[in-house]
Chains A and B, each alone.
Chain A
């Protein structure tokens, strides 16, 4: 196991304030995540080393455009905002704390989009953020994601997205730590440092949701199904999930 992953799980995954079936369930899901978390760290480090070896500044723009696509207006405002919908009005008293955290995350994601635009602006790759609206590279991302499904299925179980908070946001934390271990560019480092603690909070939200609320098989099942969806190693992108090989 890579030391970056060891450090992360020792600090944030295993320390547990609760006991009970929620914690037991989370630790079982954690065992499923560990191989892919480890792979993610290795890939992120390799990717950063490839960027540095490229001898060009283009990697900074490519990273920022990709980040803008994943965390910019389309994903942050249109998709992430729908996570509020999975809690019905009648359930709001029970889950009001989760709603507050989700509302906060929407702003975090919007800020992250701004950070990516800032890299492109300060790096001299664009003159105005509006230019990104016409650039497909800054508006498309091929990764499997669960967050947006509540736009289509608002009746999804209110705890289901804890699976994505736990799995994908941990990936964000690990990716940032891995990249920071390699890349010394100040523009990139500022962007990564600025969003690092927020990604950690999003992960901790997933951990908290599971530990504190996922206490029965009925509440655990929809979360486990999200892990089933996200952990498919043969389908890292929708094209493969649909049978393609690209």
Chain B
């Protein structure tokens, strides 16, 4: 889901690793923590972990879905 959402907002920072395990990787285009839109749509608990602190970002902690961090969608 994080891969799908990142595509939809045209950042495309989440990519599928070419390894046989097909891991999801994040490249330099990821602007976290300015953009946190992927966190709300990846439903596997503990699947996204903040490197610096080790805390799980899924489900999203309140700090990452504050109003000013939402991705604007208009028709």
Contact = CB atoms under 8 A, between A and B. Distances in A.
From A11, A15, A204, name the one whose CB has the most chain B CB atoms within 10 angstroms.
A15
A208 B4 contact: yes
Interface in A181-198: 197
A17 B75 contact: no
Contacts of A22: 73
A203 B43 contact: yes
B11 to A, nearest CB: 12
Contacts of A215: 73-75
B65 A15 contact: yes
A146 B26 CA distance: 37
Contact of B36 (A17, A19, A205, A208): A17
A17 to B, nearest CB: 4
Interface SS, A side: helix
Interface residues of A, number: 27
B59 A19 contact: no
- Report the contact-size class of chain B (Cβ under 8 Å from the partner): 20 to 34
Interface in B1-41: 1, 4-5, 7-8, 36-41
A196 B37 CA distance: 23
Instruction: Please indicate which of the listed interface residues B60, B62, B64 has the most CB atoms of chain A within 10 Å of its own CB.
Output: B60
Nearest to A10: B59
Contacts of B72: 18-20
Interface string A90-110: 000000010011000000000
Contacts of B73: 18-23, 211-212, 215
Interface of A: 11-12, 14-23, 97, 100-101, 197, 200-201, 203-205, 207-208, 211-212, 215-216
Interface of B: 1, 4-5, 7-8, 36-45, 59-60, 62, 64-65, 67, 70-75
The 10 nearest A-B residue pairs measured at CB: A17-B37, A20-B73, A19-B70, A17-B40, A11-B59, A200-B43, A215-B75, A15-B65, A15-B60, A204-B43
